[in-house]
Amino acid sequence: MELDRVVEPKPVIINQHRAREEMIALAKEGVKTFEELPIRLEFNPLFRQDGSINLAFTQEEFDEIRKNVRLQNSLGVKTELLEPHEIKELIPPINEEKILGGAFIPTDGIPNPYAVLFGHVNALTKMGVEIRPFTKAKKIKVKNEEAKGVTTKNSDINAPIIINAAGGFAGEIAKTAGVKIPIQPMKREVLVTEMLKPSIDPAIISAHRNFYLAQMLRGEFACGSTVTKDGDPTLDSSLEFLRWISRTIVELIPQFAYVKIKRQWAGVIGVTPDKRPIIGGVNGVEGLYLACGLGG
């Protein structure tokens, strides 16, 4: 995969539909962070908290969602279990015959990815941080088991602390410091529809069927897959994804059969074997930290 092509901020549903304790805690903290961003960044990330619904299509999926709801509630996330008719009230165009129920988290939401990006750029610049866009770190310099800096195409940057937050490419750059981390770059695809009038407030997710659908601020719907494609060396959009996501969404919300698709693209996430992130210092390389594997 070529890093140079990874430029598009990813559509983000900030959601807490997680099944494991530590991931629920992390997601809950994520929501709190987004709520505090306007004050912390002095910039509005346009975080719209209309909630999100994780749908169940089979009894087995519903049983698992019910179990997760209990765990989420015990950890302070106010998830509600919903019957199909209650989901229909929240999402009127949904074909309720297709669903057995779902879990609704009212505090979940959708920020504007560009506003989040530029808000951080502004705040960091004000703090005196120098940002070098489109600058690929080629090597992490290590001497006597201490991180010394990074080498880029045109420069040599010295620093006593290096944080490897390179997403799907974290493993590749870690290798240059002699550090092996079990992280794989995997492709994920998404498409965006034409702009429509506001019609669906909560984001729709199926953790089991691996897709999501959310109306963005400008009225476009982002429809994506959470399936990661192993071994695909390109970032090309695929016809396979276009067919699958279109069929899946139209079955759930028949009116989408008349909606035009504007564009489609793919991005990269970093996945670890147990789908848990890797966060913390590296044994044996003083000053080198990892913050990666967040795509699981």
Ligand X SMILES: Cc1cc2nc3c(=O)[nH]c(=O)nc-3n(C[C@H](O)[C@H](O)[C@H](O)COP(=O)(O)OP(=O)(O)OC[C@H]3O[C@@H](n4cnc5c(N)ncnc54)[C@H](O)[C@@H]3O)c2cc1C
Interface with ligand X (CB under 6 A): 3, 6, 10-13, 136-137, 165-169, 173, 188, 190, 212, 224, 267-269, 292, 294-295
Smallest gap from residue 136 Cβ to ligand X (A): 4
Q: Which is nearer to ligand X, 212 or 256 (CB)?
A: 212
Q: Which is nearer to ligand X, 102 or 270 (CB)?
A: 270
**Cβ(280)–Cβ(174) below 8 Å:** no
* Other C-beta atoms lying within 10 Å of the C-beta of residue 33: 12
Q: Which is nearer to ligand X, 134 or 258 (CB)?
A: 134
Q: Which is nearer to ligand X, 87 or 222 (CB)?
A: 222
Smallest gap from residue 3 Cβ to ligand X (A): 5
117 Cβ neighbours under 8 A, 6+ residues apart: 9
CA–CA separation, 235 vs 186, rounded Å? 9
- Tell me the backbone φ, ψ of residue 72, rounded to 5 degrees: -60, -45
Smallest gap from residue 292 Cβ to ligand X (A): 5
Q: Which is nearer to ligand X, 87 or 268 (CB)?
A: 268
Check residue 276 and give left, alpha or beta (phi > 0: left; psi -120 to 50: alpha). Answer: beta
Q: Which is nearer to ligand X, 11 or 287 (CB)?
A: 11
Q: Which is nearer to ligand X, 100 or 177 (CB)?
A: 177
**Cβ(32)–Cβ(43) below 8 Å:** no
**Cβ(237)–Cβ(90) below 8 Å:** no
* Other C-beta atoms lying within 10 Å of the C-beta of residue 125: 11
Smallest gap from residue 187 Cβ to ligand X (A): 8
36 Cβ neighbours under 8 A, 6+ residues apart: none
Question: Read out DSSP for 225-271?
Answer: E---BTT-------HHHHHHHHHHHHHHSGGGGGPPEEEEEEEEEEE
Smallest gap from residue 259 Cβ to ligand X (A): 19
Residue ranges of alpha helices (H) inside the chain are 21-41, 59-74, 84-90, 113-126, 170-175, 239-252
